[in-house]
Structure 1
Amino acid sequence: MSAIRLIVVILAILIGASALSLYLLLRASLPQLEGEYALKGLRQAVSLERDDNGMAVIHAQDRIDVAMATGFVHAQERFFQMDLLRRNAAGELSYLFGPVALDRDREIGLHRFRQRARQRLNDVPAKHRALLEAYTQGVNQGIEGLSVRPFEYHLLQAGLQPWQAEDTLLVLYSMYLDLQYHDGRRDLSLDMMKRHLPGPLYDFLHPAGSHWDAPIDNSIQNATPVPQTPWPKPQQQPEVSTDGEAADLMPGSNNWAVSGELTPYNAAMLANDMHLGIRVPNIWYRLQLNWREQDKRHQLTGLSLPGTPLVVVGTNTRLAWGFTNSYGDWSDLIRLRLDKSGEQYLTPQGYLPFSYPVRSIEIKGQQSEQQQIKETIWGPVVGEDEDGTPLVYRWVAHDPQGANLNMLALETADTVDKGVSIATTAGMPAQNIMLADSDGNIAWTIAGPMPIRFGFDGRYISDWSDGTQGWAGYRQAGDYPAVINPDNQRLWSANARVIGGKEYQKIGDGGYALGARNQQIRDRLLAKNTFSEQDFLDIQMDDRALFLSPWRDLMLVQVLPESAHPQATKITEYLQSWSARADIDSLAYLLVRQFRLTVRDLVYQDLLRLMQDKHPDFSFRAIRNQLEIPLWQLVNEQPVHLLPQGIDSWDALFALALDKTLMDLNAEYGDWQQLSWGQFNQVQIRHPLSNFVPLLGMLTDMPEQPLAGDSFMPNVSRNAFGASQRMVVAPGQEQHAILHMPSSQSGHPLAPYFNNGHEAWRIGEPTPLLPGKINYKLKLTPDSN
């Protein structure tokens, strides 16, 4: 045997041995699906069933036992995901990943969420504390019930730490980090623009509204006219940085509801799809909870968040609810006034010294690090302005109102009025909550804490040193904005501004999405007077390119006829076959989309140079949403004085953008003429470790297949981002309800139902909300030892 053949044989044996070892490791960490298992602390026997999609169906005699069984099944299927969520919020990822996660841990550690979670535990009602303790017991016994710890810990060579009741609150804080800014970057960026741009130019770039707005109260606000002021010139010419391919993706959602007068049942109907980054497994876990309370049976069906006993979106047969991220203004950046020593800061009570709490960061493979945090009475110091003055972050997540389990009361609420009342007490990242009940009523309000500001505009950095600016506590139930049973019998939200006037002022502007999705949903709702579940799913899957159609027309009418590009004729042919959809076969959609992004980056390059020259932490991502409005005004009116430096005409800018669009596509994908939107927009949903562990991705990652949809339409869909669930339900008519979930119910690639339902999510095939055929039955019994 030659040396080369010998090496090949040895490598094959090693690869085979590695694959076999991985397989055996995976097999050993599978959850228990059938038989019996004894749980300490369980009061009475519990039935834990799973259907062919792995949906957990729990039958118990009381809510405490339900919580314990939920913790058990979450841990068996999803403990690594739960661990990542708690460590993300606590700034403890270095325990698993070593020094590579240290910068992130230091950044998040400023908020001391571990300590806050412990403090919050002292505030929760006894009933909630009992549920947390039962859930925690279930989690830890679920881990103990595995033959070996989850496979991720073996791959990372990291230890597994037990669950604590405080960790559930850390999971809630992790959602704050996903749904809201944790460092004041939006306030910083808007404040810089306001201070360094001429007033008319700033007003133009930060308009109050546009023709895309579609609030539920029809409170339309107009764009600002193009100013005569040119771009200020930066002292230097740094490289500009936008957000690249992540262009229009931000955590968000769609939801809407119609009253019972518009459904076949007299019950109202609700739709909800929450847009997040999607991984393996999916963030949500499908389940149905059944229990008895005060001689009344309760059934709750929906999606839970592993790490908590909560059903986040779902139905209890009388009331259904869902969420979209509100993008209200729930935080403020404060500029301090220091004394001469720089060691004290001015407050309404005079100068006070900073406090310096210390926390320990455990680092895999290294000694622990002691992190010293600089704090004020308002919050931690998170950065500095251009002059080196400390900036402090005031955030609802830091306060007692920020985290609680009050949303548990939705489980047994039976009217939208009760749902609205519960939402106003919720400790969670503030959301648009949509409610629908079996009597036909619908409602919208904000769920989550709402601070009361005085003396300043919350969009910009403020100065709280003399007491004329600040927060005056939190709004109470009667002061929350709410709309119940509007005259048109329809409600909708999609991360854009929902309402105007004084109610809008209460919510503030934390970076609303452009209203294109909102408008497309509204118009579909107004176009019909009767709706079925399939009608709602059709809206969720709507991939019509209404937002981009004007850009296609611009290219056909102005850009291409004036272009000297050698392939201009061919591009014109493609655009003339425009389907006006983000469908997987469309090359035209891809060309128009990428052209718009290239134009945007060229048009705003002087703004970015100026701002990034002033402060490296200026964030284009944080302020980009409303920039779409002035961008369209600029490309239509084409003012010469607002051309970027080095470009002498708008035709030249368009020509440069067209050339760069094609060059970039060719550089990344080869011949652009062989592309389609579906080839560009492929599923890339992966396990967090699959990029780093050879062969793992073959087992864990979703198939790379084309996706229809994009950002500015109801069917938000982009590689590993989009609808983390789709639900359509009329309370009391759950047998007709629809639920989609991408990725996988189980975190274990050898689970018999791994990735079941993913393909239906991808193509929009309706699948039921209620559990299907029960394939697995596990009996949980009280452990008398």
Structure 2
Amino acid sequence: MPPNTTASSGTKPGKSGRKKGRKARLFLIVLVLAVIAGVAFGAYWSISTVRASFPQTKGSIRLDGLSGPVDVKRDDYGIPQIYAASDEDLFMAQGFVQAQDRFYEMDVRRHMTSGRLSEMFGKGQVENDEFLRTLGWDRIAKQEYDTKLSASTKKYLQAYAKGVNAYLKGKDGKDISLEYAALGFTNDYKPQEWTPVDSVAWLKAMAWDLRGNMQDEIDRSLMTSRLGPKQIADLYPDYPYSRNKAIVHEGRYDDVTGSYVQGDTASTTTAGTGLTGGATAPSGFQSQLSGLYDILDDVPTAVGVNGNGIGSNSWVVSGKHTITGKPLLANDPHLSASLPSVWYQMGLHCTSLSDKCQYDVSGYTFAGMPGVVIGHNKDIAWGMTNSGVDVTDLYLEKLTGDGYQYDGKVLPFKSRKETIKVAGGASKKIVVRETNNGPLLSDRDDELVKVGRKATVDTAAPDRGDGYGIALRWTALDPGTSMDAVFQMDKASDWAEFRKASTYFDVPSQNLVYADTKGHIGYQLPGRIPIRGEGDGSLPSPGWTSKYKWTGYIKQAELPYEYDPARGYIVTANQAVVDKDKYPYTLTTDWGYGTRSQRIADLIESKINGGGKISTDDMRQMQLDNSSEIAKLLVPKLLKIDVDDPDVRQAQKLLEGWDYTQDADSAAAAYFNATWRNILKLAFGNKLPKELRVKGQCLWVDPVDTTGPADEDRSVRECGQRDADQAQPDGGDRWFEVVRKIVDDEDNDWWQSPKTRTDRATDTRDELFGRAMKDARWELTAKLGKDIDTWSWGRLHRLFLKNQTMGTEGPAFLKYMLNRGPWKLSGGEATVNATGWNAAGGYGVVWVPSMRMVVNLGDLDKSKWINLSGASGHAYNAHYTDQTDKWAKGELLPWAFSKQAVDDRTSDTLVLKP
């Protein structure tokens, strides 16, 4: 990887400094290309080629379709604030400006959501396209646009698309981005016009990565091949309601009114909706699930890590506990580390609020989608975390000829044909089959359908025979209204309007936290959440009987909420939404286990109980909390173990006096996390089915002391060979709870590990812990050197930002040019500063706080924000990664909102004229 080329984290550069920095980068790219590929190649990639796609940010541009002039004001970080006199002009300008900065990213995203990546990148993406076509995100998005969305939302989507297309008009690929210029060497791909459906479809990709517990359904089913019911229960312990509090403390479900109400917290309900579990699967079903595991792992991520490890923090504190006397709201969604960041910062301002122009809002949105997703307007602020509610179910289907069995009958498949175009190759045709439970995911791999009896060739799908298949039921595969919710929230002025807006937010289901300038705070769980007949969604269900079908959805009035709770704060960090004995429906069996949420609540309580008032900077410091809860539990026990080996004893002594904080320069954090990883491997790894090993997890391993892409690729290959023999727990907060449950049972069977060539078998906890400490010592010796004085957590725990598509699979020289890093990070898994790593693949950073914000409802101009990378998607633009250094250090940028504050921070102004 190249060295970090981001701007210094000191004072912000002036205009002349930015120009010099930009020229230096342009010179560097030409020089590097000339050295790598020769003078002729370097001459082709001239400075003009690199700069051709940079956005115009000063002067004026005429845009057909505007009804009046629009001002685009950018600050020193290139963050745009748009001022217009009508809603349509505002969103048209938003489309134009986002396309200026990020069109390549937008184009890749829409090809992913529509299953057309092969059109851009060739045959290597055909299997992914097959799976994405089977899900049919773009088809559902079109149905939403045609039949579900309001007239005003359609108008805004059309205006946004018009702005994007105004940017594209008359441009060749090289005029849009460096990536298109590179693609031009291998295919003749040309960007097509943007459509409103392209924007709507992105919400489906977002929902896919935030889909809930589908991976857990598969895992539990695969575990039955080697583990008994009690062992599986050990690995999925109950949520610790008594220790880690649910989001909603006050209120109850009222059986009489059929709604959730605040007030008396006594419950009149009986929790649960039916029998636990699902299908008793034939032996062949195991192979299908194993194959599906691999397919899911290969699907490109949108905002997360394919449904694994997704989390976020958001909390709000009322004015009675703050310095300003008004609420403070913090949010930091934990998503995949991507370049550019998944988020795009901007403000959308009407020059005068009226029926003609209704928006004055600022925050984070997605490139390719109008409106603001998370942020604040002049009256309210809101944040989001993934609720984790279970909105997906896998169904095992019995297939017979050209149909499937259901309640004793054979029903015909609903089939459609799809043609996948491939850049530089022949098109491929597929048949997508659906049951009444959804599309057959198992049709996407020949190995998945070799179950049961082979039948006569099916004329609709000639490679399919009788047997079993796997179908997916998912709320996002039905048309919805989430795009309406975005615009409704953006202009909501109080709690009532915000709650009404949330009723449109059907997928993905997110925890919504709220605050307003009048001093109120609140929480609402939105979403289309299914009610099941039998089963609880924890395992795949039998699809051949109606007993396990979805019987409806929880009504909006029944969904949990809180408004101005007496405690004066609300914390959401993927923990349980409500105590199970206070609610009649099973929202999920797989909550996050509340490690982060309880730590945040404890930090708030500590400040309050100490008589202090919370400031904006206190909220920022809480976001950076590096404390390891699992270290607090295990380190005292690790220190009591008698260690004979002097080298291991030397490492053990690092833990003495350690305060359990995982700072980047901490040797103790490095050694503890290595020990934790080896505890998991010894106690559980060799007992789990090998099918649970996810291939892609090895791709997350980054080299520790290498500098070039060739070394990084070698590291990835070695990982795949090294870990192929066994599964490995990911080390998240579920595993914290697993170990917490058994840690005082020193003779528990899980502490048994087999003899190896160099080590004796272990039978007790301390024997296994001692062996893990020894293995960790020599693992870190190999990675970091024998001298423990040189060890640090940041040398292991590093962030590489990889440019999407070409930064991961492109030519080595192009990856070297487009990627950035590494950054040595603090934080860790299930820590408030959630720079997540996956013990199945090493210590490299997998997901991150993708942005951080703190909104000050007492003075919105004193709010703060930061993005993972920068406003620009153009490599070597000054704003490609100019926020990353500050982000890595936990710093926040000023967030101007009022007209005067924006003007004071404006660096460049572009006027868009009709």
Q: Same fold (TM over 0.5)?
A: yes
Q: 1:290-313, CA deviations, whole angstroms, 9 ceiling, x for partnerless residues? A: 113327764211111111002111
1:661 corresponds to which residue?
Answer: 776
Distance 2:139 2:636 in 1: 55
Query: Which residue in 2 is equivalent to 1:4?
Result: none
Counterparts in 2 of 1:259-408, with a 5 A limit?
A: 259-291=318-350, 292-294=353-355, 298-338=359-399, 341-348=400-407, 350-383=409-442, 389-401=468-480, 403-408=482-487
Evaluate the alpha carbon distance shift between residue 622 and residue 462 of structure 1 in structure 2; reply closer, same or farther with a 3 A threshold. farther
Which range is displaced more, 313-322 or 732-741? 732-741
Determine whether 1:179 maps to 2:295: no
Give the C-alpha shift of residue 684 in structure 1: 1.1
The residue number in structure 2 matching 1:704 is 822
Query: In the alignment, is residue 93 of structure 1 matched against residue 173 of structure 2?
Result: no
User: Contact (CA 8 Å) 2:118, 2:423: kept in 1 or not?
Assistant: yes
Residue 731 of structure 2 contacts residue 829 of structure 2 at CA under 8 Å; is this kept in 1?
Answer: no
Distance in 1 (alpha carbons) for counterparts of 2:225 and 2:576: 25
How far did residue 625 of structure 1 move? 4.8
2:840 corresponds in structure 1 to none
Mapped partners of 1:710, 1:73: distance in 2 = 35
Are 1:690 and 2:807 matched, yes or no?
Answer: yes
- Give the Cα separation in 2 of the matches to 1:582 and 1:625: 16
Partner SS for 2:630: coil
- The answer to whether the 8 A contact 2:247-2:575 is kept is no
SS at match of 1:715: coil
2:871 counterpart (735, 745, 753): 745
Asked whether the 8 Å contact 1:317–1:732 carries over to 2, the reply is no
The 1-side partners of 2:727 and 2:404 are apart by 27
User: 1:278 and 1:175 mapped to 2: Cα distance?
Assistant: 15
Aligned to 2:315: 256
Please state whether the residue corresponding to 1:67 is helix, strand or coil. Answer: helix
Question: Is the Cα contact below 8 Å between 1:68 and 1:136 reproduced in 2?
Answer: yes
Partner of 2:912: 780
Q: CA deviation at 1:704?
A: 2.3
Alignment-derived partner of residue 538 in structure 1: 621
The alignment status of 1:161 with 2:277, answered yes or no, reads no
Q: Does structure 2 conserve the Cα–Cα contact (< 8 Å) formed by 1:603 and 1:631? A: no
Q: Equivalent of 2:237, from 191, 194, 207? A: 207
What's 2:763 paired with? 649
Q: CA deviation at 1:143?
A: 2.4
Q: State which drifts further: 648-657 or 526-535.
A: 648-657
Q: For 1:54-110, what per-residue CA distance to the aligned partner results, in whole angstroms no more than 9, with x for missing partners? A: 111111011111110000011110011112222222222111211222222222221
Residue 188 to residue 402, structure 1, CA distance change in 2 (3 Å): farther
The secondary structure found in structure 2 opposite 1:747 is coil
Counterpart position of 1:429: 508
8 Å CA contact retained: 2:361, 2:376: yes
Mapped partners of 1:61, 1:34: distance in 2: 20
CA 1:644–1:452 in 2, change beyond 3 Å: closer, same or farther? same
Range with greater deviation from structure 2 (530-539 or 417-426): 417-426
Deviations 1:705-742 (A, max 9, x none): 32111122111125352111111113352111010112
Structure 1, residues 419-453: CA drift from partner, whole Å, max 9, x if none?
Answer: 12211221431111111111111111223322222
Residues 536 and 566 of structure 1: CA distance in aligned 2, closer, same or farther (over 3 Å): same
Gapped runs of 5+ residues in structure 2? 1-31, 251-264, 266-282, 298-304, 443-447, 453-466, 694-723, 756-760, 837-844, 897-901
Moved more, 72-81 or 101-110: 101-110
CA shift, 1:744, in A, is 1.5
Which residue number corresponds to residue 591 of structure 1?
671
Amino acid at match of 1:780: L
Which residue matches 2:892? Answer: 766
Alpha-carbon deviation of 1:773?
1.8
Q: 1:12 to 1:195 in 2, by over 3 A?
A: closer
Separation in 2, partners of 1:430, 1:620? 30
Q: Distance in 1 between matches of 2:678 and 2:811?
A: 35
Q: Against the structure 1 CA distance between its residues 734 and 568, is the aligned structure 2 distance closer, same or farther, given a 3 Å change threshold? A: same
* Match in the other structure for 1:230: none
Q: In the TM superposition, what are the counterparts of 1:615-626 in structure 2 within 5 Å? A: 625-626=733-734
Corresponding residue number in structure 2 for 1:6: none
Q: Is 1:565 matched with 2:645?
A: yes
Q: Take 2:418 and 2:582, find their aligned partners in 1: how far apart are those partners?
A: 40
Q: Percent identity, aligned pairs only?
A: 26
Distance of 2:812 and 2:768 partners within structure 1: 45
Go from structure 1 to structure 2 and tell me whether the alpha carbon gap of 1:348 and 1:417 turns closer, same or farther (over 3 Å shift).
farther
Displacement of 1:186 after TM fit? Answer: 2.3
Q: Which amino acid aligns with 1:319?
A: I
Query: Of 571, 579, 598, which residue of structure 2 is paired with 1:492?
Result: 571
State how far apart, in whole Å, the 1-side matches of 2:525 and 2:223 are. 29
Pair 1:310–1:323, CA change in 2 (3 A): same
Residues 199, 297 of structure 1: CA spacing in aligned structure 2 closer, same or farther, 3 A cutoff? closer
Structure 1 unpaired stretches of 5+: 1-8, 221-233
> Is this contact kept in 2: 1:302–1:769, CA < 8 A?
no
1:751-781 C-alpha deviation (Å, 9 max, x unpaired):
3434232222111223212246211111111
CA distance in 2, matches of 1:344, 1:13: 57
Question: Deviation string for 1:630-658 (max 9, x for gaps)?
Answer: 22333431225442454342344334323
CA contact (8 A) 1:421 1:477 kept: no
Give the C-alpha shift of residue 456 in structure 1.
2.0
Partner of residue 463 from structure 1, selected from 518, 537, 542: 542
> In 2, Cα distance between the equivalents of 1:425 and 1:51?
34
Q: C-alpha distance in 1, partners of 2:87/2:727?
A: 45
Other-structure match for 1:231: none
Measured in 2, the distance between the counterparts of 1:753 and 1:401 equals 35
SS of 2:652's equivalent? helix
State whether residues 34 and 42 of structure 2, in contact with CA within 8 Å, keep that contact through their aligned partners in structure 1: no
SS in 2 for 1:714: coil
Note closer, same or farther for the CA distance 1:621–1:398 as it changes in structure 2 (3 Å cut): farther
Match of 1:63 in 2: 87
Matched, 1:605 2:685: yes
Aligned equivalents of 1:349, 1:298: Cα separation in 2: 55
Residues 249, 202 of structure 1: alpha-carbon distance in 2 compared, 3 angstrom cutoff: closer
- Supply the distance in 2 between the matched residues of 1:466 and 1:697 (Cα, whole angstroms): 51
Q: Which amino acid aligns with 2:738?
A: P
Distance, in Å, in 2 between the alignment partners of 1:602 and 1:649 is: 11
Taking the aligned partners of 2:224 and 2:314, their CA distance within structure 1 comes to 33
Structure 1 residues 10, 146: closer, same or farther in 2, change over 3 A?
A: closer
1:448 maps to which residue? Answer: 527
Cα distance in 2 for residues equivalent to 1:13 and 1:351: 62
Supply the AA of the counterpart residue of 2:906.
I
Cα distance in 1, alignment partners of residues 357 and 191 from structure 2: 40
Distance of aligned partners of 1:103 and 1:286 in 2 relative to their CA distance in 1, 3 Å threshold: same
Residue of structure 2 aligned with 1:549, choices 606, 629, 632? 632
Structure 1 residue aligned with 2:48: 24
Name the counterpart of 1:509. 588
Q: CA deviation at 1:474?
A: 2.5
Pick one of 692, 714, 735 that aligns with 2:832: 714
- Looking at structure 1, the residues matched to 911 and 195 of structure 2 have their Cα atoms a distance apart, in angstroms, of 25
1:697, distance to aligned residue in structure 2 (A): 5.2
Q: Matched residue pairs, number?
A: 748
Greater CA drift, 207-216 or 622-631: 622-631
Q: Does 1:72 align with 2:99?
A: no
Q: Is the 8 A contact 2:215 2:307 kept in 1?
A: no
Per-residue displacement from partner, 1:113-154 (whole Å, max 9, x unpaired)? 122122111121111111111101111112237571322112
Amino acid at match of 1:712: A
Alignment of 1:198-237 (within 5 A): 198-210=228-240, 213-217=244-248
**4+ residue runs of structure 1 moved beyond 6 angstroms?**
246-249, 618-624
Q: 1:663 to 1:88 in 2, by over 3 A?
A: farther
